Structure 1
Amino acid sequence: MTRTHTLADPRVEAALSQMFARAAHDADAAALAREKLPEGFAPTTPQEQSDAAAEIYMPISAAGGQLLYNLVRAVRPSTVVEFGTSFGISTLYLAAGVRDNGTGRVITTELSRTKIAAARRTFAETGLDDVITVLEGDARHTLRDLDTPADLVLLDGWKDLCLPVLHLLEPRLEPGTLVIADDVDLDSLRPYLSYVRDPANGYQSVTFPVEDGMEISCRL
């Protein structure tokens, strides 16, 4: 007997296909964003960076998304926490896993109001909005009052903030919790990688070779 799954839902397939197609033009969107900035101005704060990148998708890969879906199905987390919604590509993979598990929720956080509005429309159109909670603002603030343990964490926002966000969440990480970070090849993620790869900090970490690489760390 063939079982269906949410990633095969035509609404989800169409949304992912459309967003990946748009993300293929990220380089053009980034160039246009730079042209719109005042001469000599370089975004420095997370909010400024977010505003400058409001039209840029910066997605995980399709293979990375499938890996996330499989991990959610296997772990069966009650609460998935995502840092960096963007337009919601990775969120859809996480939510699809939650839906097919029949239990759980995804809490995701994003700075860009433009991206939040677009992501919420997508979540409603795909029928997954009932398992997704979108928090607007800096993750260092929005996740501070998280009222439940985080059973699986995806860190895919600004790379220099991944370690501070992890530190914020650590009191809510039970042994066995998986923490996943995308884009291991980026220099700005190095402090985070140095931390989770040091066993003294309480993680067993492995790099999974999918696209730009995902670091999968298990809380010990």
Structure 2
Amino acid sequence: MTHTNTLADPRVAAALERMFAEAGRDAARAVQGDRGTMTAGELADAMAEIYMPISAEGGRLLYTLVRAARPATVVEFGTSFGISTLYLAAAVRDNGAGRVVTTELSKDKIAAARRTFAETGLDDVITVLEGDARDTLAGLSEPVGFVLLDGWKDLYLPVLRLLEPRLAPGTLVAADDSTFDSVRPYLDHVRDPANGYQSVSFPVEDGIEISCRL
């Protein structure tokens, strides 16, 4: 039996190795958490050259979850340079069906991410939406089978609320950096049984909250 794992594809492995190395150099400069008084667009411009990636372990967790859930549509809030997108797209490719819809404000990051997606051969399963996710995702019509929240932390809850009408029972929602104070309103929402989720925190780097829509 042949076991397919696109993460082992030399093009994907090389791209991830390169981007994680660049992310390590950026770590000291990265601004995390609250946006302060800056608008999302202003902060996106200020951070246009900064990697703000998921960890490699977090990426493997996402790959595993998407392989198991086999969603038709994966939605990612916050492309950045596309590290997490590659893990999601690799899982979709190996499932044999589906697509990743990812959102990003920075034009420079989108251009760089699209080059990487083409280089890795995964661009055919990735759709990049440019602009504020609260606007671009509002036009999404199909059901959403898996969600990754990894953009600005204070927008996790608004983006989730926007997507909730499209989340079928069993849909998984992963929120990165769950230990950040600015994620607390989101956590309060998904951890309240009245809101229709079963939620558990994974101790991966800065935490990933995995919530199942009930």
TM-score band, normalised by the shorter chain? over 0.9
Return the offset for 1:43. Answer: 5.6
Q: Quote the Cα distance in structure 2 between the aligned partners of 1:4 and 1:94.
A: 15
TM (normalized to structure 1)? 0.93
Post-superposition Cα deviations, 1:76-114, rounded to whole Å, max 9, x if no partner, equal: 000000000000000000000000000000000000001
* Mapped pair 1:150 → 2:144: yes
Name stretches of at least 5 consecutive residues in structure 1 with no aligned partner: 32-41
Is there any run of 5+ residues in structure 2 with no aligned partner, and where? none
CA-atom RMSD in angstroms: 1.3
Structure 2 CA distance for aligned equivalents of residues 30 and 81 of structure 1: 24
Q: Distance in 2 between matches of 1:43 and 1:89?
A: 28
What's the counterpart of residue 60 of structure 2?
66
Q: 1:115 aligns with which of 104, 109, 112?
A: 109
**In the alignment, which residue of structure 2 is the partner of 1:18?**
18
CA distance in 1, matches of 2:37, 2:111: 22
* 3-state SS of paired residue (1:64): helix
Q: Which runs of 4+ in 1 moved over 2 A?
A: 1-4, 27-31
Identity across matched positions, percent: 77
Counterpart for residue 3 of structure 1: 3
1:185 and 2:169 are equivalent in the alignment = no
Aligned match for 2:123, one of 126, 129, 139: 129
**Letter aligned with residue 27 of structure 2:** A
Quote how far apart the aligned CAs of 1:188 are.
0.8
Deviation per CA, 1:123-147, whole angstroms, max 9, x where unpaired? 0000000000000000000000101
Aligned residues: 210
CA distance in 2, matches of 1:125, 1:91: 14
Distance in 1 separating the partners of 2:27 and 2:94: 34
Per the TM alignment, residue 190 of structure 1 is displaced from its structure 2 partner at its CA by 0.6
Pairwise mapping of residues 1-220 of structure 1 onto structure 2 (< 5 A)? Answer: 1=1, 3-30=3-30, 44-220=38-214
The structure, 1 or 2, with the larger RCO (C-alpha pairs under 8 Å, 6+ apart) is 2
- d(CA) in 2 for partners of 1:145 and 1:26? 33
TM-score by length of 2: 0.95
Q: Which has the larger radius of gyration?
A: 1
The answer to whether the 8 A contact 1:58-1:86 is kept is: yes
Query: 1:28, 1:67 → 2: CA distance?
Result: 25
Secondary structure of the 2:60 match is helix
> What's the offset of the Cα at 1:4?
3.8
Please report how far the alpha carbon of residue 27 of structure 1 lies from its aligned counterpart in structure 2 after TM superposition. Answer: 3.5
